[in-house]
């Protein structure tokens, strides 16, 4: 069994036993510095910015937790569902301060899945925001869950509200009721039920402890360059482990967090808040990079930028870094302060990752899953290689099980961050947690320098009639380099309608950008678009072996079915086709 080298610990850090310890540490260390910026905006008026300090965060967690305790919520299962906002994190920390089990839920779940998740997790209390009211009221009216208490994060006359509870807790503390702050917290008890994204089947409820999360935070602190005073844009949804653990990393490192007004306002918000650190999914990072390069092309500056990259790369060999000055106009498009981009949730196009680095914006990617709370391996500035996702996190063991003749096998991991199992699902738990290792379901290999390369999901591998294995992700990466491609996925289809089902031909579904096609190619009709895409696919086919060549195309400008972190739901897409 070949094991992956672990990342070097570059930065000092303190380990925190519980999330309460982490919040208290941040309050003592960073005190009145801004932890969160909350924008209040009424239609037609100028926005007002409220700054919450690290002390405010600790106090609000204690106020809310005290109110929970006084109202008899201890021992309850409490779901939190809303858009990313300050009250989400306050609620999460308050529940995990000794009150009960927290169940973070995706606000984007359709009614049936939301109701099912509440039933399956045996949730007693739901904390939501105004945006969730329609689905919450429908679930409440149906009465199929065991939820007894509904709490609105916003001011409300219909529901108990977080603002009301904060006032209750503050008053109780002023009267000397301090029991909440000394509640025992078992950091190895299961107190988080977190549903997987369910790209191919029904989502599973992952059982995590605070120790799983704080150990992963400790590894991230020691290996990634997150600085006190940075400004972070909270874009990844908090119900996703990469989003919530990333946010906790910001808190423990003394970073200010601002909230995005929505995807179409992302660039404007980055300028507005002078964002310096950005946790994101590959789809968005690749999109930002494509837009930057499209602007460069439109302004006729391709040769200028290419020369600048060659020049700055040469100077970097002598320790001279002038990338920020040379590419100032590009940096200004992204707020002027962006220095560090971290990609996760799925593989990113190496061209986009390297492109950001060439422009003077450090970019790394991490690899993990909900079951690992979430990071298993990652890159950092001194340990990266094009196409690789880096090395194992400190304290995490990563290995390749049953490698084939090319060294490709299943990626397995073990460490303090690994889940206890799936809630009430012994069968799937036994499959995934075998022999003390988490079996990720991903295929990969370790190169001679100890870097991990991912080939794709084990269940996505297309086995051809001649016995050859095709990893669709490899071809998808090549297709995603085409400037007009919004998203794509590759799959196997029977070569003949009534023939051998094992005789597969490779097919690709491609979602293109109509505006880009019209502006850059003058293509407005579907036949014109198909001709351009077919020619580009033929060129890609010339670069790969015959058995990897794509023969069939499905071309559309309609988005695919995706999870909230941008992963294509392959099973549903294939079923639809």
pLDDT over 90 at 7, yes or no: no
DSSP one-letter code for 396? -
> How confident is the model over 439-487, as pLDDT tens digits?
998 889 999 888 899 888 777 788 786 667 788 888 888 898 898 998 8
* 335 assigned to some structural domain: no
> How confident is the model over 145-200, as pLDDT tens digits?
999 999 999 999 999 999 999 999 999 999 999 999 999 999 999 999 999 865 44
Q: What is the pLDDT of residue 396?
A: 94
Within 8 A by CB and 6+ apart from 564, the residues are 106, 108, 197, 237, 239, 240
* 434 assigned to some structural domain: no
* 285 assigned to some structural domain: no
Q: What is the pLDDT of residue 198?
A: 54
* 290 assigned to some structural domain: no
Domain boundary residue among 185, 214, 245? 185
Domain boundary residue among 140, 160, 185? 185
> How confident is the model over 227-252, as pLDDT tens digits?
999 999 998 899 988 899 999 999 99
Q: Order the strands of the 231-234 sheet from edge to edge.
A: 48-53, 34-40, 256-259, 231-234, 277-280, 340-343, 362-368, 375-378, 391-392
Domain count, the chain: 2
> How confident is the model over 416-435, as pLDDT tens digits?
999 999 999 999 999 999 88
* 107 assigned to some structural domain: yes
For range 548-572, the mean pLDDT: 81
- Find how far residue 322's CA is from the centre of its chain: 31
* 489 assigned to some structural domain: yes
CA 448-450-456 angle, to 5 degrees, is 95
Q: What is the pLDDT of residue 200?
A: 43
pLDDT over 50 at 577, yes or no: yes
Residue 430, number of CB atoms within 10 A of its CB: 11
For range 560-567, the mean pLDDT: 72
| 237-241, 503-507, 508-512: least confidently modelled range | 503-507
Closest CA to 552 of 569, 567, 533, 566: 533
pLDDT over 90 at 94, yes or no: yes
**CATH number for position 30:** 3.40.50.12780
Question: What tokens were used for 215?
Answer: 């150990």
For range 253-268, the mean pLDDT: 92
For range 132-146, the mean pLDDT: 95
pTM: 0.84
Confidence of residue 546 (pLDDT cuts 50, 70, 90): confident
* 402 assigned to some structural domain: no
Domain boundary residue among 132, 153, 185? 185
Mean pLDDT taken over the chain: 90
Domain with 479, as residue range(s), is: 461-576
Q: What is the pLDDT of residue 502?
A: 65
Q: What is the pLDDT of residue 197?
A: 67
Q: What is the pLDDT of residue 297?
A: 86
* 140 assigned to some structural domain: yes
Cα–Cα distance for residue pair 25/145, rounded to 1 Å: 38
Q: What is the pLDDT of residue 566?
A: 66
């Amino acid at each position: 069994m070949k094991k992956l080298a672990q990342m070097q610990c570059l930065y000092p850090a303190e380990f925190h036993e519980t999330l309460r310890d982490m919040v208290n540490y941040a309050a003592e260390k960073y005190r009145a510095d801004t932890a969160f910026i909350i924008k209040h905006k009424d239609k037609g008026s100028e926005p007002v910015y409220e700054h919450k300090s690290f002390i405010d965060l600790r106090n609000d967690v204690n106020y809310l937790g005290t109110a929970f305790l006084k109202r008899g919520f201890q021992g309850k299962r409490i779901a939190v569902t809303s858009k990313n906002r300050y009250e989400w994190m306050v609620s999460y920390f308050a529940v995990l301060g000794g009150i009960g089990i927290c169940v973070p839920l995706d606000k984007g779940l359709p009614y049936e899945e939301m109701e099912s998740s509440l039933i399956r997790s045996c949730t007693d209390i739901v904390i939501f925001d105004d945006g969730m009211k329609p689905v919450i009221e429908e679930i409440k009216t149906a009465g199929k869950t065991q939820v007894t208490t509904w709490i609105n994060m916003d001011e409300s006359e219909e529901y108990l509200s977080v603002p009301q509870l904060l006032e209750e807790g503050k008053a109780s503390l002023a009267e000397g009721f301090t029991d909440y702050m000394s509640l025992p917290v078992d950091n190895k008890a299961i107190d988080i039920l977190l549903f997987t994204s369910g790209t191919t089947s029904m989502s599973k409820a992952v059982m995590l402890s605070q120790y799983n999360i704080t150990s992963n935070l400790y590894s991230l602190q020691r290996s990634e360059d997150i600085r006190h005073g940075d400004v972070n844009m909270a874009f990844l949804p908090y119900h996703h482990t990469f989003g919530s653990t990333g946010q906790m990393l910001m808190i423990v490192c003394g970073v200010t967090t601002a909230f995005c007004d929505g995807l179409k306002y992302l660039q404007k918000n980055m300028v507005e808040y002078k964002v310096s650190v950005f946790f994101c999914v590959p789809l968005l990072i690749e999109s930002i990079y494509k837009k930057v390069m499209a602007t460069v092309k439109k302004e006729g500056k391709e040769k200028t930028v290419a020369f600048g990259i060659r020049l700055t790369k040469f100077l970097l060999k002598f320790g001279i870094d002038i990338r920020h000055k040379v590419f100032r106009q590009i940096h200004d498009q992204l707020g002027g302060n962006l220095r560090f981009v971290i990609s996760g949730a799925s593989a990113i196009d190496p061209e986009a990752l390297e492109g950001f680095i060439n422009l003077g914006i450090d970019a790394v990617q991490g690899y993990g899953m909900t079951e690992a709370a979430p990071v298993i391996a990652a890159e950092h500035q001194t340990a990266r290689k094009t196409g690789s996702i880096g090395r194992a996190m400190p304290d995490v063991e990563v290995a390749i099980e049953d490698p084939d003749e090319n060294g490709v096998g299943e990626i397995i991991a073990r460490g303090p961050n690994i889940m206890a199992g799936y809630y009430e699902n012994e069968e799937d738990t036994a499959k995934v947690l075998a022999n003390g290792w988490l079996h990720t379901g991903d295929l990969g290999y370790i190169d001679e320098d100890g870097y991990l390369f991912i080939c794709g999901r084990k269940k996505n591998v297309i086995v051809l009639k001649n016995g050859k294995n095709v990893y669709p992700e490899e071809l998808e990466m090549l297709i995603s380099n085409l400037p007009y491609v919004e998203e794509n996925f590759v799959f196997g289809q029977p070569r003949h309608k009534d023939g051998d089902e094992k005789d597969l031909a490779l097919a690709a579904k491609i979602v293109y950008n109509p505006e880009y096609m019209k502006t850059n190619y003058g293509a407005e009709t579907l036949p014109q678009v198909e001709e351009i895409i077919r020619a580009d696919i033929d060129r890609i086919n010339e670069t790969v072996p015959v058995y990897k060549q794509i023969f069939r195309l499905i071309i559309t400008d309609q988005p695919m079915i995706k999870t909230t972190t941008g992963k294509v739901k392959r099973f549903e897409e294939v079923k639809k086709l």
